[in-house]
Amino acid sequence: MSDAALDLFVIDAGSPEPPYRQLHDGVVRAISAGRLAPGAKLPTVRGLAAHLGLAANTIASAYRALEANGIIEGRGRAGTFVSLGDDPVDAAARSVALEAVERLRSLGVTGDRAAQFLVDAARGAEAS
């Protein structure tokens, strides 16, 4: 990966957010902004750790969280890539929303009432 591509990955040492969360959120923002396209190869854990001056476990934790959310995918020795298909962030968000709807349904909450809970939760999260 080129130096310019590595510059997409930055950590603010003064931030209250832990480095793995900054990395996770930075990847999501880069994908949403089109700076990382579906299918783009990400730096290796070791390479990114060296670039950022972080422990490899910190990078691996962020990558695992991104992969668990379907945003990136590991392809063995080929490396780690932004997921293909739908916009990976939209796909992960859709998955979270479907899980929430299923949980609401299991409580007997459906239709407009379920939708209102989701809207209220989103508005509450944006306000904080």
Rounded Cα gap, residues 111 and 74, in angstroms: 37
- The CA-to-CA distance between both ends of the chain, in Å, stands at 37
Indicate if the pLDDT at residue 125 is higher than 60: yes
Rounded Cα gap, residues 25 and 74, in angstroms: 18
**pLDDT given for residue 117 in this prediction:** 92
**pLDDT given for residue 13 in this prediction:** 92
Q: Where are the domains of the chain?
A: 3-82, 88-127
**pLDDT given for residue 4 in this prediction:** 57
The reply to whether CATH 1.10.10.10 applies to domain 3-82 is yes
pTM for this structure? 0.68
DSSP string covering 85-113, please? Answer: SS-HHHHHHHHHHHHHHHHHHHTT--HHH
